[in-house]
A and B are shown apart, each in its own frame.
Chain A
């Protein structure tokens, strides 16, 4: 017998897969996605593991993982996948679900808010400010310090912000996007 909780999980998982347009049994666990994933080293659940969880019906492990917040959406995995399994789509949908279920990690939420505030201010991201604010608010103020000299000397990061020409337009876009519930930023 399946418990109520299991049934509910299964329904949610099916819904998630449907929204993401992913069929879990397309995946035969070859690992080509994970092999080429630029973020896999930091993920607690590798991309192949995400697909494995969809197959064994473990929604909880997906929404609680740091994977869904680390995925950069580069689509390298889909590009190489022999069965065209769209893992980034699945992860994107899983983010909404995680937010709904209250599994958004505090630091992810902070990053999201800082990032959006950044965009609202300059119309584009100011990396120095993003890193600074994020590290302060997440109570790890010194975590990126060792890389700063390298980043600065190699011009990978700038001290001064760049302002886009039409910041107001960008803000209108954000406001509009927020109106659509399906496009709401995670964590709100």
Chain B
């Protein structure tokens, strides 16, 4: 017979005002298996804990039931306390008589009766508890950061500065991300390149950072502290070990390709650096367009290169590396508004630009060297219309969410136009202006005072007439239709997750929300973690974000990674699934249902009568299993059980209440 001790907490008046702890303790003494019961004002306090420890020693208790608050609150506290006693920390049960009883009831009689029931259930479960032991797994002291935008750059630098090795991978030929494309950043209007390129250089030069551009993740296995990541290095056709980045190869390339970095506003050769300040500052060949690689003729760049860096035979290389932590920082892209908004011309009108196209236009390093001119005829616009919420807040055609940064960069665009082309008329069509952020409202206010005309209403239609763009909408504050003859229109389009985020999150086993953004473990309390241990996130891959928020989140995620890598080994929870091999038929239902890819089929030697056979059974990876229990309900033979929540334990609880 087990010797169970029941300890009823008053929680000051939190419990005691609705539940009578003395009567609960008295009733507990009558439950079979209970050797001792007591109550105290604050069980979690030092004297309360001492009282439990004394009782364990004096009464020779082997299991403990504490009737108090939610286990989420203090189960850890009491487990820690039990570590110093003869009782195994997992021989503890918490009966939640606060959140699930005293706080939600008013009738003291009934609440007390319910508290007794809850205690009886916990006692029954405790009688079936078995000692469990934590194990430890080693930690590979190296982090992988996926994505080389400002989030990935910041996180990689923070982790590396803390003394840990970091590999930063980026699928483009250069790091820098979207921030490298921008001209100025709100609300301070400091030049984007001036604050981001030094960080890019730091990444390239940091002794703890291995930078791998033109790389993609192709496979992930393992678990927290011990990931094995397969990476594909895409063929660059240029030997970066030898190349000095002199740029001679680019000068004579006969191919002209639309520049992705300049958002289609200019062209680039087939051998190219993404932009002049690229890191690494070395070119790659675009195999889709290179004449030598496509047709076998040309080879001019090879002849020009003084160091012989060009290798047309280069191929994709795959390799695998171990990592202890993974940080997703894959960022965003802009929606393809042309395909969605026929009423805005669907991309037919050259002078209707996206926000990023305007950023390139106004950028001193852009195709027009910072002169704001119409792409169609190169003339300066006299009237500009800025349309906000294109694709955002539009559940029918675009996205239902607000893209958060557009109100501010729309104001910034208006400011830049008024600054560079004084006398220009700028109309901003908006539904709401949202400026929550330090200095943001002041910036918006200043833009209005600069002369930008804010018109409340969503543009309904844009059409061309005599070389001008007629923007038709309603001024909802006047209740009138308005038409603006504009020379240039800027559409502030919605952000959406980067291409390939589905594949990457599937490889990592990380969840996405309804809009495909990477899902954080808890929106408030665990905002930079995913529900997969050891996988963290930062920046716009989690949801639309501006630069200050992205950088803050990147540093926060880096702190979490550093915390993990600082451990040489880590404890795993023993409350995980366990397989009874004799019962397991190897059907694999659990393999498919496990959200953490923790279960796999393993071949074992067995006997069938007198014959030796080989058969497959489920095998649980202790590092990956999070103890959710999905597999136990999927298991047809009942071979899987969740330690600490075994079917027998839960049935015992049910019996205690119902029989």
User: Could you say which residues of chain A place their CB within 8 Å of the CB of B473?
Assistant: 31-32, 35-36
Beta-carbon contact of A31 and B396 below 8 Å: no
Q: List 27 A-B contacts (CB under 8 A).
A: A28-B393, A28-B431, A29-B431, A30-B476, A31-B458, A31-B474, A31-B475, A32-B460, A32-B474, A34-B474, A34-B481, A35-B457, A35-B458, A35-B460, A35-B481, A36-B461, A40-B474, A46-B474, A48-B474, A48-B476, A48-B479, A49-B479, A80-B343, A82-B394, A82-B395, A82-B396, A82-B398
User: Could you say which residues of chain A place their CB within 8 Å of the CB of B583?
Assistant: none
Q: Tell me whether A20 is interfacial, beta carbon within 8 Å.
A: no
Using an 8 Å CB-CB cutoff, how does the interface string of A29-73 with B read, 1 for contact, 0 for none?
Answer: 111111111001100001011000000000000000000000000
Closest beta carbon of chain B to A40's beta carbon, Å: 5
Interface residues contributed by chain A, number (CB under 8 Å): 20
Closest beta carbon of chain A to B397's beta carbon, Å: 7
Say which residue of B458, B472, B479, B482 sits within 8 Å of A30 (CB atoms): B458
Beta-carbon contact of B456 and A31 below 8 Å: yes
Known contacts A31-B456, A35-B459; A83/B395 CB under 8 A: yes
Interface residues of A (CB under 8 A from B): 28-37, 40-41, 46, 48-49, 80-84
User: Could you say which residues of chain A place their CB within 8 Å of the CB of B459?
Assistant: 32, 35
Closest beta carbon of chain A to B278's beta carbon, Å: 39
Closest beta carbon of chain A to B404's beta carbon, Å: 17
**In the bound complex, what is the Cα–Cα distance between A41 and B460 (angstroms)?**
15
User: Could you say which residues of chain A place their CB within 8 Å of the CB of B431?
Assistant: 28-30
Residues 113-155 (chain B) with a chain A CB within 8 angstroms: none
**In the bound complex, what is the Cα–Cα distance between A97 and B252 (angstroms)?**
75
Beta-carbon contact of B393 and A82 below 8 Å: yes
Residues 390-420 (chain B) with a chain A CB within 8 angstroms: 393-398
**In the bound complex, what is the Cα–Cα distance between A34 and B480 (angstroms)?**
8
User: Could you say which residues of chain A place their CB within 8 Å of the CB of B474?
Assistant: 31-35, 40, 46, 48
User: Could you say which residues of chain B place their CB within 8 Å of the CB of A30?
Assistant: 389, 431, 457-458, 476
User: Could you say which residues of chain A place their CB within 8 Å of the CB of B398?
Assistant: 82
Interface residues of B (CB under 8 A from A): 343, 389, 393-398, 431, 456-461, 472-476, 479, 481-482
List 4 additional A-B contacts (Cβ < 8 Å) besides A30-B476, A34-B476, A35-B459.
A31-B460, A36-B461, A40-B481, A83-B395
**Interface hub of A32, A33, A41, A81 (most chain B Cβ within 10 A):** A32
Beta-carbon contact of A29 and B460 below 8 Å: no
Beta-carbon contact of A36 and B460 below 8 Å: yes
Q: Which residue of A lies closest to B392 (CB)?
A: A82
Beta-carbon contact of A32 and B458 below 8 Å: yes
Q: Which residue of A lies closest to B391 (CB)?
A: A82
Closest beta carbon of chain A to B477's beta carbon, Å: 9
Closest beta carbon of chain B to A42's beta carbon, Å: 11
User: Could you say which residues of chain A place their CB within 8 Å of the CB of B475?
Assistant: 31
**In the bound complex, what is the Cα–Cα distance between A49 and B474 (angstroms)?**
11
Closest beta carbon of chain B to A70's beta carbon, Å: 14
Beta-carbon contact of B456 and A36 below 8 Å: no
Closest beta carbon of chain A to B434's beta carbon, Å: 13
Q: Which residue of B lies closest to A46 (CB)?
A: B479
Closest beta carbon of chain A to B396's beta carbon, Å: 5
**In the bound complex, what is the Cα–Cα distance between A29 and B430 (angstroms)?**
11
